[in-house]
Amino acid sequence: MKNRWPAAYQVIEKLEYAGFEAYVVGGAVRDFIRGVSANDVDVTTNATPNEVKQLFEHTIDVGIEHGTVLVVVKESIEVTTFRSEDTYSDFRRPDNVMFVRSLQEDLQRRDFTMNAMALTKNDELIDYFDGRADIKQKLIRAVGDPFKRFSEDALRMLRAIRFSAQLDFSLHGNTLEAIEMQHKLIDRVSLERVKVELEKIWTSNHVGKGMHLFKTSKLAINFPGDWKTYLDKWNRFLMFENVANGWAFFALMQQSNDINTLLNFYKCSNAEKMHVKQVLLAVEKLKKGHWTAYDIFQFNEEILIAAAYYAEIILDMNTPYENNDIQRLKAAIPIASSREIAVNGNELMEWKQEKRGPWIKEVLEKLTIAIVNGQVENERAQLKEWYFREYDN
Ligand code: ATP
Ligand code: MG
């Protein structure tokens, strides 16, 4: 571990030296067993948060109420005290955190066997629930009774599906059955959390698998949106470069739902809503068969690429655009934005002999269109000529 995760090693070494136990847990151990590098390395210990804080010079309280302290050594390591969650009020947030004595109790509260292993600083694996065997079989299996575990925390159902999409693992029989039977509990989970998991599925390598499970496990029933059309139109090549494209595809799949209401329901950000709107508009324009020069100018490359792609899948259109075409067409437009016009407001005021006013914006807009459409070159003398021809007053 020393070479692989030097910061975690240093934290564990110091805790052990002070007489505590400490291990790497969770996703990092899972990824280590899978033979891939881990995102972040978390440490669990029997030291209380205050004991952890006393031991290390630089710490940040990130979740003291959950028993978590961020220890900053070479990098930041989350150190969480062994704990269990034993009372649940809303199926999501434990009422209180119970610190526990043993590592085993801490591991027992974790969601899936693959996430419930610990590693000592000398790379000895502690695996009470056969997580390693499940990883070998590419199985996601709840720790303990899945029915109970999902009723404790319904988010785990969605996490199971998300991991399946990220890791290309299957759900163990009972685990899947428990989701199918208790899918309604997902209602108790806040939409912010649902959104995070959905988006992780959308940007995973096996998004098709995840969305298929989302439907067959019956979780999808509990969420507004036309998930049926969504999956009917699914294409095995479909991948989302970013979450906004995931929402754009979702929006395009809606037959009878109001898209704005849906995006608000899922707590999409304004930037996401704007992205979706633009993709929808660009798809709409493509229904005429091709984009005009002004369309190409108006939408950014990312929007055009997404729209062309979705139009093919959804409208079953044979769109005339490949990614390279879009880049080429974009590059052929003389200006990338109206800021690049070779005249400015001052010059227009001089030409027209008139004070500043909203008319300037109007003229600049007209100029933009003329330049984009190739009616005039973006060159001062020519623009002036064009202006006096157009507005000969
Ligand atoms: P990722 O690589 O996506 O971060 P991860 O396994 O580290 O995966 P986290 O959400 O960061 O996932 O959680 C860290 C660990 O905490 C998990 O591996 C799991 O042991 C435990 N855990 C997280 N959420 C839950 C939950 N809802 N119920 C039970 N255990 C959980
Ligand atoms: Mg993690």
Give me ligand 1 centre to Cα 110, in Å: 7
Per-residue confidence in pLDDT tens, the chain, 393 aa: 999 999 999 999 999 999 999 999 999 999 999 999 988 999 999 999 999 999 999 999 988 888 899 999 988 999 999 998 754 444 444 556 788 889 999 999 999 999 999 999 999 999 999 999 999 999 999 999 999 999 999 999 999 999 999 999 999 999 999 999 999 999 999 999 999 999 999 999 999 899 999 999 999 999 998 888 888 877 777 788 889 999 999 998 888 889 999 999 999 999 999 999 999 999 999 888 889 999 999 999 999 999 998 888 777 777 778 777 888 898 899 999 888 999 988 998 998 888 999 999 999 999 999 999 999 999 999 999 998 888 875
State which ligand 1 atom lies nearest to the alpha carbon of 26.
18
Give me ligand 1 centre to Cα 26, in Å: 6
Judgement on whether residues 133 and 143 belong to the same structural domain of the protein: no
Which structure tokens are listed for 44? 């669990």
Judgement on whether residues 39 and 133 belong to the same structural domain of the protein: yes
Q: Which residue has the tokens 């005249």?
A: 343
Report the candidate in 1, 4, 21, 6 with the shortest Cα–Cα distance to residue 73. 6
Residue nearest to atom 2 of ligand 1 (CA): 27
The whole-number pLDDT of residue 89 equals 45
User: Is residue 307 a contact partner of residue 282, using CB atoms and an 8 Å limit?
Assistant: yes
Residues 6+ apart with CB under 8 A from 144: 108
Separation CA 374–CA 186 (nearest Å): 55
As for ligand 1, residues whose beta carbon falls within 6 Å of it are 26-27, 39, 110-111, 115-116, 153, 155-156
Judgement on whether residues 129 and 30 belong to the same structural domain of the protein: yes
Report the candidate in 91, 101, 114 with the shortest Cα–Cα distance to residue 33. 114
Let me know if residue 344 belongs to a domain.
yes
**In CATH, what number is assigned to the domain containing residue 74?**
3.30.460.10
Q: Which residues participate in the annotated binding site for ATP? A: 27, 30, 110, 153, 156, 159, 162
Give me ligand 2 centre to Cα 226, in Å: 31
The whole-number pLDDT of residue 393 equals 57
Judgement on whether residues 5 and 94 belong to the same structural domain of the protein: yes
State which ligand 1 atom lies nearest to the alpha carbon of 31.
2
What is the ipTM score, two decimals? 0.97
Give me ligand 2 centre to Cα 312, in Å: 37
How many distinct structural domains can be found in the chain? 4
Let me know if residue 231 belongs to a domain.
no
Residue nearest to atom 1 of ligand 1 (CA): 27
Judgement on whether residues 92 and 148 belong to the same structural domain of the protein: no
State which ligand 1 atom lies nearest to the alpha carbon of 200.
3
Let me know if residue 357 belongs to a domain.
yes
Residue nearest to atom 17 of ligand 1 (CA): 26
Let me know if residue 230 belongs to a domain.
no
Show the domain range for 313.
236-333
Judgement on whether residues 9 and 113 belong to the same structural domain of the protein: yes
Judgement on whether residues 143 and 132 belong to the same structural domain of the protein: no
Give me ligand 1 centre to Cα 115, in Å: 7
Q: Which residue has the tokens 């909203």?
A: 358
Judgement on whether residues 170 and 260 belong to the same structural domain of the protein: no
Residue nearest to atom 15 of ligand 1 (CA): 26
Judgement on whether residues 109 and 72 belong to the same structural domain of the protein: yes
The whole-number pLDDT of residue 66 equals 82
User: Is residue 48 a contact partner of residue 22, using CB atoms and an 8 Å limit?
Assistant: no
Using the 3D structure, point to which of 119, 137, 155 is the last residue of a domain: 137
Which structure tokens are listed for 134? 């499940």
The whole-number pLDDT of residue 95 equals 53
